[in-house]
Structure 1
Amino acid sequence: MSLYNYPLHFKFKITTFSNDFEATDALGNTIFYVREKILTWRDQMKVYSDSSKSELLYEIKSNKLIDFQQTFTITNPQGNIIGKVRRKSIHSLWKSTFKLMDTYDNHDHTIQEKNAFVKLWDGIFGEIPIIGMLSGYVFNPSYILSANEGEELFELNKEPSFFGRKFTVHKITEKEVNEERMVLSLALMVLNERSRG
């Protein structure tokens, strides 16, 4: 039995200075609310139960001040590690790739961009004055979260929008997986990749 009712929807707010978004399920219920802290030395995100930010569910913190092989650790309010996500920055110049690690630092899953050419053309199109602002309606990347054995488990798609603010998550496997860790990892990836498309 799934932890969430899929598909999930990530929708960014455009009225705040922070990089905030709300995650809702197929029934429109809020499953969490993410706020990325700005003006900090290290990337840091807080995940709340809803937009009131009264109940903290998770924290996501970067281990480095720079972007090279940056690793993010996901913890609950008690400080217990849920998992880790490592962004492969060099490889990301061509195809965005994030390595997921369990609580023992074992790399067991990967999030990878489905079509590298979308990133290439998005970068080119986005540099064209005025017209480039419309890239969010033309180039919308998709990402696959798969196990190391190669089985595809989740697919995340960016939806056409002017501000790049809507994403949809589909669970594409029937097997039992750690949905909590997988969905939080996808949420982190969205915060890193949102500016594209």
Structure 2
Amino acid sequence: MKNLNYPLTLKFKVAVINPQFSVADEMERPVAFVKQKAFKLKEDISVYKSAEQSNLLYKIKADRWLDYNASYSFLDSSGKESGRLVRKGARSLWKAEYELYDENGKQDLLIQEDNPWVRVADNFLGEIPFLGLLTGYLFNPTYNITRPDGTQVATFRKKPDLVSRAFTLEKNAAFEEGEETRLVLGVMMMVFLERARG
């Protein structure tokens, strides 16, 4: 997953047992189709080239069944690890924070929720009849993706939408070697975790 045309759009399919979404580029060409196995104790995500699910690109596997400080490895179709996403447990309870590591175990990116109050307002107001219908349009979290030196390389945000769940990934700086693949796979895993979080 490199040299993609940004922004990317991630759009969830509705009314399906296994959570899944498609990824398209700026020209609306398919980039990937991502599917989570339902009813698994440990997260098991498959990334395919298309919705036909005939060409497996990556697997994302959790190292434990509880996601408190869990690590999610990115494995290509041959089983080779290209990096991993780590959820920062206690810190992520209030403000979502994830670290991305390369294949050598060195941290190279950080994903941080911009404003946790957006999620709080969405959860709280979502329980109020009629007003809850508007929260998907009014409250849309943003996540900043930076290097350890503070350089912002990308922005991930939920799109305003009353019905479906759609997100965009925008590129803010040139990627370094291997960074793009880890970033895109990390965002794919994170969107499943954040969706479950609320």
Determine whether 1:71 maps to 2:71.
yes
Q: Which amino acid aligns with 1:41?
A: L
Match of 1:145 in 2: 145
> How many Å separate the matches in 1 of 2:130 and 2:99?
35
> How many Å separate the matches in 2 of 1:176 and 1:90?
30
Q: Which amino acid aligns with 2:186?
A: S
Match of 1:169 in 2: 169
How far has the Cα of 1:26 moved from its partner? 0.5
Match of 1:28 in 2: 28
Q: How many residues align?
A: 196
> How many Å separate the matches in 2 of 1:3 and 1:63?
29
Question: 8 Å contact 1:146–1:154 — kept in the other structure?
Answer: yes
- Per-residue Cα deviation, 1:23-68 (whole angstroms, up to 9, x for no partner): 0001111111000001111111000000000010000011111121
> How many Å separate the matches in 2 of 1:171 and 1:6?
6
Q: Which amino acid aligns with 1:170?
A: E
How far has the Cα of 1:175 moved from its partner? 4.8
> How many Å separate the matches in 2 of 1:17 and 1:175?
35
How far has the Cα of 1:148 moved from its partner? 0.5
The verdict on how the C-alpha distance between 1:194 and 1:162 changes in structure 2, with shifts beyond 3 A counting, is farther
Match of 1:194 in 2: 195
Q: Which moved more, 1:51-60 or 1:113-122?
A: 113-122
Match of 1:85 in 2: 85
Q: Which moved more, 1:125-134 or 1:163-172?
A: 125-134
CA RMSD of aligned residues (A): 1.7
Map residues 33-44 of structure 1 onto 2, 5 A cutoff: 33-44=33-44
The verdict on how the C-alpha distance between 1:64 and 1:187 changes in structure 2, with shifts beyond 3 A counting, is same
How far has the Cα of 1:109 moved from its partner? 1.1
> How many Å separate the matches in 2 of 1:21 and 1:114?
23
> How many Å separate the matches in 1 of 2:12 and 2:93?
25
How far has the Cα of 1:195 moved from its partner? 4.9
- 3-state SS in 1 of match to 2:161: coil
Report the TM-score, using the length of structure 2 for normalisation. 0.92
Question: 8 Å contact 1:122–1:196 — kept in the other structure?
Answer: no
Question: 8 Å contact 2:11–2:164 — kept in the other structure?
Answer: no
Amino-acid identity (%): 34
Map residues 97-136 of structure 1 onto 2, 5 A cutoff: 97-136=97-136
The verdict on how the C-alpha distance between 1:57 and 1:77 changes in structure 2, with shifts beyond 3 A counting, is same
Unaligned runs of 5+ in 1: none
Q: Which moved more, 1:168-177 or 1:79-88?
A: 168-177
How far has the Cα of 1:110 moved from its partner? 0.6
How far has the Cα of 1:123 moved from its partner? 2.5
> How many Å separate the matches in 1 of 2:25 and 2:84?
24
Question: 8 Å contact 1:97–1:111 — kept in the other structure?
Answer: yes
Report the TM-score, using the length of structure 1 for normalisation. 0.93
> How many Å separate the matches in 2 of 1:8 and 1:90?
30
Question: 8 Å contact 1:94–1:119 — kept in the other structure?
Answer: no
How far has the Cα of 1:132 moved from its partner? 2.4
Question: 8 Å contact 2:6–2:170 — kept in the other structure?
Answer: yes
The verdict on how the C-alpha distance between 1:131 and 1:60 changes in structure 2, with shifts beyond 3 A counting, is same
